[in-house]
Amino acid sequence: MNKSFIITILGPDQPGLVKSLSETLNKFQGNWTESRMTHLAGKFAGIVRVSLPVEQFEKLSLALNEIQTDTFRILIEEASSINKDEPEHILSLELMAQDRPGIIQDITHQLAKLNVNIEELESNVKEASMSGGTLFCAQLKLSLPSGIKAEVVQDTLEEMSDQFMVDINFSD
C-alpha cells in the first residue's frame, strides 16, 4: 500500500540538490508526484509530494536525515488523507502596489474575513520604471467558500486598492 508524504527542503542553494533528493526517493520506490521549488536570496526552498510504499517510509526518513546538515534542513510528514470538499470556485488574481511593510498582512486579513483560502501565493518586489520607487507584485490562487462570489472578493480588495493603490486583475 502506498501513502503520500510531503517533504520540505531548505538550505544553501547549490547544483545537484534536486538530483540528490530524486535519487534518494527513487532508491526507496518513491514517486515524485508534485512539487514547488525556488531559489530565494541564495537559499533553495522546496516542497515535494511523494507517494511510496508504507514499508519504505522509515528507511526513506533515515536516508533523508543523513542528508541533513546544520544548514540544510529536510522535514517529512504524512500528507493529509482528509478529502476537503471541492471549492465552489477557484479565483486567480494579480496585484501590484507601492511596496511597503504590511501589504501581505492587509490582503490576507481581508481574505480571511471572507473565509477565502489561499491555495498559492507568489510575490516579489521590483523597481518601478516610471516612478523610481519599488513595486510589490503578487499572484494568488484562491479557493472561494460556498456563498462567496468572485465579485465579493473583488469588491473587498478594490476597497483596499483605493487606500493602498493595489491594481487587481481577476481571471478564472
Which set of grid coordinates corresponds to residue 83?
478529502
Instruction: Give how far Cα 62 sits from Cα of 37, 45, 82, Å.
Output: 23, 21, 26
For the domain spanning 2-78, the CATH number is: 3.30.70.260
Do 4 and 49 contact (CB within 8 A), yes or no?
A: yes
Comparing 35 with 169, which gets the higher pLDDT? 35
Across 21-30, 47-56, 97-106, least confident range: 97-106
d(CA 72, CA 74): 7
**Do 2-78 and 89-171 have matching folds?**
yes
Looking at residues 83-94, what average pLDDT do you find?
73
Looking at residues 10-33, what average pLDDT do you find?
94
Owner of C-alpha cell 491594481: 167
What CATH superfamily is the domain 89-171? ACT domain (3.30.70.260)
Query: What's the pLDDT tens digit per position in 123-157?
Result: 999 988 777 788 888 999 999 999 998 889 888 88
User: pLDDT class for 79, splitting at 50, 70, 90?
Assistant: very high
Looking at residues 102-111, what average pLDDT do you find?
92
In sequence order, the 6+-apart residues with CB closer than 8 A to the CB of 113 are: 156
Query: What are the extents of the domains in the chain?
Result: 2-78, 89-171
Cα–chain-centroid distance for residue 154? Answer: 22
What pLDDT was estimated at residue 95? 85
Do 61 and 76 contact (CB within 8 A), yes or no?
A: yes
Between vectors from CA 119 to CA 144 and to CA 21, what angle results, nearest 5°? 160
Residues counted in the chain = 172
Do 131 and 125 contact (CB within 8 A), yes or no?
A: no
Percent of the chain's residues with pLDDT above 90: 59
Given a cut of 80, whether residue 163 has pLDDT beyond it is no
Of 73, 27, 171, 165, nearest in space to 19 by CA: 27
- Reduced to 3 states (helix: H, G, I; strand: E, B; else coil), residue 146 is coil
Given a cut of 60, whether residue 83 has pLDDT beyond it is no
Residue 5 CB: number of other CB atoms within 10 A?
20
Given a cut of 70, whether residue 103 has pLDDT beyond it is yes
d(CA 159, CA 10): 37
Given a cut of 90, whether residue 85 has pLDDT beyond it is no
Burial class (CB in 10 A: 0-12, 13-18, 19+), 48: buried
How much is the pTM?
0.77
